[in-house]
Structure 1
């Protein structure tokens, strides 16, 4: 029977359902074994030797992610940071890297410290400015270009296809942190990227109870096999229970992302009219600088993340976060519950984030409840 192409919604809903045909189970089993038997002739025809390198529990989620990303292969990692840093660890001392000025702060800090200490030559540029990026690429001839789009926490949008052309012309690898977009909204590999990274802790799992990361590759080439080897040799793998729980979360990804996108757009449009909100940062707004690019490369929504800047500065922003009742004051994003955070406090004194900014992760609660809670908190903070 010819395999029929199914929509992402159907693939996700039945994610991993047919991974154990021998026993006919609907939910894939969890393999807790740390080691594997040799064959009679001393070989490992199963392909597995030790669970520091691989575990059959990983494969259903990895195959599902690869299918969603149109990737040749995908692998789970112990965390988003483990996945991201593996890409840079696969480079060699002296290799040049270009990364965005607006990106996840922990990875930026890692590049500035451990990345540089390991011999990488890293430059941060405004990747949304294609002229600035083109000049940097021409000058440096980088081995790797790293993008994050939308970029946390200003939600800057970079034209992936345009940068992919630049990367291809100079022989650079292009890797994309697509955590916020998810495979449902943007497919970086189809736009010309070589590697896509997800902090699977966030939207892929979606329930704030699993730490995991993932990489997917357009081609199963030497660089990809080097990444697979780094994962195995460093033991940067999730536990089998985490992998199983991640897969369970992925099965509702379509529903959660659809709801979050709709609510985030609604809340962003309403807050744009609030007199105490001086700016709303959200790719779905027509007033947003990167809106046209977002329309071009984000299909089905603009994500569940937005940021707001408040009149009254840092003091007002912190007061608003303290006065919400439905929004949780916590770090992270992409869960079913809505979170609010004064981001500059987290990132420290060298942050590029304005002090008056609050980062909002929109969950799946009622959109009017979320909006009303924010509005009452803003009004109280400015009364």
Structure 2
């Protein structure tokens, strides 16, 4: 019998992040709920501040905390699953997904230009368009599904330091050709940052495809239960050091708290199990919606009708995830009607929880996005976004059916 040497991603998720046995033998990760750490003597404390050997391992929880560091190792292990040298990578955990995204952009693109995907999470779009210019970073937005346009934008902006995209775009479900864009970025001497929140490392592993930096809102699928806000950034240790990302996080103060890190670690352990069910339900709900006479179009990477279905099939593993966008034939009014009449589905923003969340981007998450950019990205008044949960698929479908029937 051949002995299996490489663990499955399910096994990695359960054991990820663990390093040393706890001094008291705790089976699960302790919560180091402390703001500061005690030094044995002045010399040990002084060496810690000078980053010298023999110094204290921890100083202050804004700089680093054992519980937070275990979460960092865990997410790093999942994102680096299958890489030849995962030990070359490191991660920083943050108090929110936007803290990870904004700190990452400030560190990696300081004083330069960003070529960004036109369809992005609303706050990311707002940060790049409204706040980043005052901080010395300019941005142009482009349809990342068109490689010609991406290349033209890079040629037009030789000062580009960062290409920024979402592996699956929020909320349009556009799938980017990460491998091809990574090659373009490398050819133009720029870095590629990928927000992998929608897909998670269970479905897409951007480092395998050539990405330089991966960010997550761990609030979503990685946490998985709607109980915590958090974010993480993963990159090669050398890049993290060169970009001074740790200094940015220290001085901007965005590190995750130990309790939030501990809650998120619990989510990490069940990520593969949950993602399998999300994906299974997602396909069933997408197929139902595509057949409904009041739905104009469904955007789900697993459907043959999706513009990048072939691409998605080539880069996604273990299914197509639990996120769906669909266009209602009644426009804005139909979107509002559907939101107001669901019963099992939860009317709430965010995503990736065990229960099904439904929201209307035009009136909610993307109401803050510039109107022209919203139009360019295809975020219309009738677009609905649904984060399919792990309930029975037939129950989710029945709820959508009764709510759609109420519409005129």
The TM-score bracket by the shorter chain reads over 0.9
Q: Are the counterparts in 1 of residues 107 and 243 from structure 2 also a CA contact under 8 Å? A: no
Deviations 1:57-89 (A, max 9, x none): 112211111111115111110100000001121
Distance in 2 (CA, whole Å) between partners of 1:127 and 1:224 is 27
Identify the residue that residue 52 of structure 1 maps to in structure 2.
Answer: 62
Counterpart residue number, 1:64: 74
What is the CA–CA distance in structure 2 between the aligned matches of 1:17 and 1:96, rounded to whole Å? 38
The within-5 A match list for 1:305-316 is 305-316=323-334
1:120-154, CA deviations, whole angstroms, 9 ceiling, x for partnerless residues? 12100011100110111122121100011200001
Structure 1: which 4+ aligned runs deviate by more than 6 Å? none
When structure 1 is superposed on structure 2, of 164-173 and 4-13 the one drifting more is: 4-13
Contact 2:13 2:74 in 1 (8 A): yes
Cα distance in 2 for partners of 1:295, 1:355 equals: 29
Give the CA deviation at 1:271: 1.2
Q: Is the 8 A contact 1:145 1:167 kept in 2?
A: yes
Which ranges of structure 2 fall in alignment gaps of 5 or more residues? 49-54, 81-85
Question: In the aligned structure 2, how far is the partner of 1:221 from the partner of 1:313?
Answer: 45
Question: What SS does the aligned partner of 1:333 have?
Answer: coil
| Aligned match of 2:188 | 170
Q: Deviations over 1:203-256 (max 9, x none)?
A: 000111100000011343355651112111221012111110110111111111
How far apart in 1 are the matches of 2:343 and 2:145?
Answer: 36
Corresponding residue for 2:352? 334
1:22-46, Cα deviation, whole Å (9 max, x unpaired): 3332101111121122343243323
Aligned mates of 1:3, 1:370 — CA distance in 2:
39
Instruction: For residue 4 of structure 1, report the CA deviation from its aligned partner.
Output: 4.6
CA distance, structure 1, for counterparts of residue 214 and residue 157 of structure 2: 23
Which deviates the most, 350-359 or 179-188?
A: 350-359
Identify which of 115, 133, 136 aligns with 1:116.
133
- 1:88 and 1:16 map into 2 onto residues whose CA distance is 26
Aligned length: 381
Once the two structures are TM-superposed, the CA of residue 375 in structure 1 deviates from its matched residue by: 1.1
| Whole-Å separation in 1 of the counterparts to 2:348 and 2:110 | 37
Partner of 2:23: 22
Partner of 1:369: 395
Q: 1:68 to 1:250 in 2, by over 3 A?
A: same
Counterpart Cα distance in 1 of 2:321 and 2:242: 28
Shift in CA distance, 194/358, structure 1 to aligned 2, threshold 3 Å: same
**SS of equivalent to 1:217:** strand
Please state if 1:78 is matched with 2:95.
yes
Where does residue 52 of structure 2 map in the other structure?
Answer: none
Structure 1 residues 135, 57: CA separation in 2 closer, same or farther (over 3 Å shift)?
same
How far did residue 49 of structure 1 move?
A: 1.5
Contact 1:194–1:219, Cα closer than 8 Å, also in 2:
no
**Structure 2 matches for 1:97-136, cutoff 5 A?**
97-136=114-153
1:210 is matched with: 228
Which 10-residue stretch deviates more, 8-17 or 330-339?
8-17
CA offsets 1:96-143 (integer angstroms, 9 cap, x no match)? 110010010111001111101112121000111001101111221211
Deviates more, 1:202-211 or 1:314-323: 314-323
Runs (5+) with no aligned partner, structure 1: none
**SS of 2:35's equivalent?**
coil
Matches within 5 A, 1:1-383: 4-16=5-17, 19-40=20-41, 41-42=43-44, 43-44=47-48, 45-70=55-80, 71=86, 72-91=89-108, 94-141=111-158, 142-221=160-239, 226-346=244-364, 347-348=366-367, 350=371, 351-352=374-375, 353-382=379-408
Deviations 1:261-309 (A, max 9, x none): 0100111012111111110011110110011111111111111100111
Q: What secondary structure, in the 3-state scheme, does the structure 2 residue paired with 1:90 have?
A: helix
Distance in structure 2 (CA, Å) of the matches to 1:103 and 1:343: 12
CA distance in 1, matches of 2:162, 2:97: 18
Give the root-mean-square deviation of aligned CA atoms.
1.8
Paired residue for 2:83?
A: none
Contact persistence 1:19–1:60 (CA under 8 A) = no
1:17 positional shift: 5.3
State the TM-score, normalized to the length of structure 2: 0.90
